[in-house]
Structure 1
Amino acid sequence: MLNTFQQSEHPMLVQSNHDQRARQEFVKSLKQHIQQGLLPSVQSTYNTRAVNAYTKKHQHPPKDYRQAREAFQDDPIFKAYLSVNRISQELQWFSVIDALDDTVESLEQTAKKLPAAGGSLQIPEQFTVPKYISELDIHCMPGGYCGPKGASPLHAGALYDRGVYLYAMGYMGPNNDDMGRSVCNYITRNNPDFKPKRILDMGCTVGHSTLPYAEFFPDAEVHAIDVSEACVTYGHHRAEGMGVPIHFKQANAEATDYEDGSFDLIVSHILLHETSKSAMPKIFQECHRLLKDGGLMIHADLPPFDEMDAYTQLILDNETWFNNEPFWTAMRNTDQIALAIEAGFAKDKVKFDNAPMAIMEIAAAAESYSEEMAEDLADREFTAGEYAPGGGWEVLVGQK
């Protein structure tokens, strides 16, 4: 899987020289080794040494991530894994920053010369970014989603665009759009007659997941919002450079200024685990307000802990402990169905479901591609591991 998909070129993608590219490929390979090379040994050690010792002491094996951490936290194998995993996370950003520093001025010039694709960018004169976003280097990204103070307005978006591809090790596909593409596939299969005219993507960052909606629903007007001015600015130029008309806007999903019933479809992609526990109910309420009758709300993220064994919970909980993901665990412990009902969605109109990863389906249908690509895909094992457990995205679906 390691190099099945390289990131597709587009006018706003940060350019790297040979050495910088080699360093980035090393980081991607290291992350792959951690998941496919180290994690099996970590799990084997947990299942034997840690579980046996904990069971002997408590007369039962660990039941959840808290007990699993108690059982495993002092084990040298676990500590070694945590150390290497944290280093790889920091390296993924640093491997891009050098190239970005060398090319950010040229990206600014490119942005000024892009032909119009029909999209727009709206930045309000006064806007307050929530402190849980502005004051935190989320997932160890220097400057977080808003970027370092004083940096180019394209810095955070360009860093995220390349960095998240390395983090995903290619699993997001050539355009980093697997989540959006997977949800679009889910909609067309489960609601084939649903033809939204206005779509809103909440917490869009740079619009990776937004663009497939313009492809799948070409008659729809697609809007994308995020609290980060840097992300929506870069996202706008990225979409224009790729020839896709998207209307980007700096706005908070907790309270937008769109009118009631403005949208037929509201989506988000890994927004919920990046937002605070107090903000999540407000986001659900805003979704209900903004949807037309019969409209759909779909939030794509990762499964709640109650669907996992204690070891898997532990590995994922490490994102909160060691990767600057403060809301990751809280989101997994939140009753999102109850929040949706409290926001106004009928109980029988809300459910969790699974949207298979589009890239996994590409692998399964490899015979429909060129012979060379089919052979390449057929020889590779698509095991999402930590990245997307079960090979799909958990989707919370609500209909108004």
Structure 2
Amino acid sequence: MLNTFQQAQHPMLPRASHDEASRQEFAKSLKQFVQQGLLPGLQPVFSQRAAKAFEQEHGRAPQDRREIRKVMEPDLYFQHYAALNRIAQELMWNSVIDSVERQLPALNEGAKAWSAKTQAQLRITPDFVPPRYVTALDIHCMPGGYASELSPGDISVAALYDRGAYLYGMGFAGPLNDDMGRSVCNYVQRKLPGFKPRRILDMGCTVGHSTLPYKTLFPDAEVWGIDVGGPVVRYAHARAAALGMDVNFAQMNAEATDFEDGYFDLIVSHILLHETSGKAMPRIVRECHRLLSPGGYVIHADLPPFDLMSPFTQFILDNETWYNNEPFWGAMREIDQIKLAVDAGFPADSVAFATAPMAILESSAEGAAGYTGDSTAAVADREFTAGEFAPGGGWEVLVARKAVQA
């Protein structure tokens, strides 16, 4: 079994009892088994069995992910893989719920106390209505989703997400689950030398995992994280304070914020776009253009579009759409994101896809900062597969720059 990081036990994270911790480690290990033990077997099952059956029936090979799914779904090996993968996902969340519920009154009070210790702003809108595409189902099967509140001031779903996201990533996002933000920060350092944004916005920040690295890289910047879930930004604000960071958080919809035109020099998001609807995504890109100052940058980090992948890899990744309550996962990757950015007003020559290598795999001092050498080496030896977040050890980023002059 891979020896990855243990999650950092910051003051807002629920503390697991011995039995709860054992269940959580079992759930994480089961996910590792599915990804490392069962997932690699899908390719030979497809090439040696399913594809041949398709060719016999149709006289040709499967041409896209939909045809591959059609011929793979009846196969017992795929059914075993898909069922166990879903079971592991549900078990993962269930293994954390007991810890959260047992400590919820203390966690809610702790959030209030930590938030009171920081000068950073926390803006919660009492009559805010999250978009239906977020609340209509429990995204990635997390009970309650991002916005459910059990009582005023509740942070239960956020505490569940903080621990559950670590287990979902099986530890490879680092002790603070912040590898994605750190990776984009490293990209900014290397690709945008001399760029020093005064104000930074993280859209769809959830509990602020990827938000805080920007405050570390740019300590004098005014940093904001926004999300449609009140509990998650409430928790994010307290978590940041508990980690010694003054970062502002607000409950807002990235489609239409209340910040003034040109307020931010850098806007980022981390796996936000695949959790927004096809109608919302163009509005978010247009809002990014409105909010950016002249010459400012937007960087959306997610998985790459399907046209950059083989049909079989598309099929593997699209399992999230079918079996993990990620309804926009596949559809988002078919959208022409370059065109969305150009239509929103970004100059065509400023818009491009790029790869931000995972900070956890970086061998440089700046990439490894905050990770121990032994742990970094252990993760660097790991083979990342198409079924995980970052195939090949890199995050795909959509980068656009607002024109310097109108």
| TM-score exceeds 0.5 | yes
Question: For the superposition of Structure 1 and Structure 2, which TM-score range results when normalised by the shorter chain?
Answer: over 0.9
Distance verdict in 2 for CA 1:74–1:228, change over 3 Å: same
In 2, Cα distance between the equivalents of 1:3 and 1:234? 29
Unaligned runs of 5+ residues in structure 1 are none
C-alpha distance 196-369 of structure 1, shift in aligned 2 (>3 A):
closer
Name the residue aligned to 1:37.
Answer: 37
Q: Which amino acid counterpart does residue 277 of structure 2 have in structure 1?
A: S
Aligned residues between the structures? 399
Q: Deviations over 1:20-73 (max 9, x none)?
A: 001100111111111111111122111210111112222322221101111211
Q: What SS class does the counterpart of residue 293 from structure 1 fall into?
A: strand
Aligned mates of 2:251, 2:143 — CA distance in 1? 21
8 Å CA contact 1:182, 1:356 repeated in 2: yes
- 1: CA distance, partners of 2:89 / 2:397: 26
The alignment partner of 1:3 has SS state of coil
Paired with 1:228 and 1:144, the residues of 2 have a C-alpha distance of: 9
Q: CA deviation at 1:279?
A: 0.2
Match of 1:296 in 2: 297
- CA deviations 1:285-305 (Å, max 9, x no partner) are 000000011000000001111
Q: Aligned with 1:129: secondary structure?
A: coil
Aligned partner of 2:30: which letter? L
Following TM superposition, by how much is the alpha carbon of 1:363 offset from its aligned partner in structure 2, in angstroms?
Answer: 9.7
| Paired residue secondary structure (2:233) | helix
**Partner SS for 1:329:** helix
CA contact 2:321–2:327 (8 Å) conserved in 1: yes
C-alpha deviation, 1:254, in angstroms: 0.3
Write the letter of the residue equivalent to 2:60.
H
Aligned-pair CA distance for 1:111: 2.3
Q: Offset of 1:224 from its aligned partner?
A: 0.7
List aligned pairs for 1:7-18, cutoff 5 A.
7-18=7-18
- Aligned structure 1 segments of 4 or more residues deviating by more than 4 angstroms: 148-152, 362-378
The answer to whether 1:262 aligns with 2:263 is: yes
Residue 214 and residue 80 in structure 1: after superposition, are their counterparts in 2 closer, same or farther (change >3 A)? same
The corresponding residue for 1:215 is: 216
Structure 2: distance between partners of 1:190 and 1:303: 19
The CA distance in 1 between the partners of 2:147 and 2:28, in whole Å, is 24
Kindly provide the amino acid, as one letter, of the partner of residue 5 in structure 1. F
Summarize deviations over 1:188-243 as a string: whole Å, max 9, x none.
00011100000000010111000000001111110110010011001111111111
Kindly, what percent of the aligned residue pairs are identical? 57
Q: CA separation in 2, counterparts of 1:187 and 1:159?
A: 31
Residue 108 (structure 1) shift? 2.0
1:3 Cα offset (Å): 3.1
TM-score, with structure 1 as normaliser = 0.95
- Offset at residue 77 of structure 1 (A): 0.5
TM-score, normalised via structure 2 length: 0.94
Give, in whole Å, the separation in 2 of the partners of 1:10 and 1:70: 45
Please say which of residues 263-272 and 97-106 is displaced more in the overlay: 97-106
Structure 1 position 161, deviation (Å) = 0.2
Q: Which moved more, 1:37-46 or 1:295-304?
A: 37-46
**Contact 2:359/2:368 (8 A) holds in 1:** no
Q: Which residue of 1 aligns with 2:254?
A: 253
User: Structure 1 148/122 Cα, relative in aligned 2: closer, same or farther at 3 Å?
Assistant: closer
**AA at the equivalent of 2:391:** P
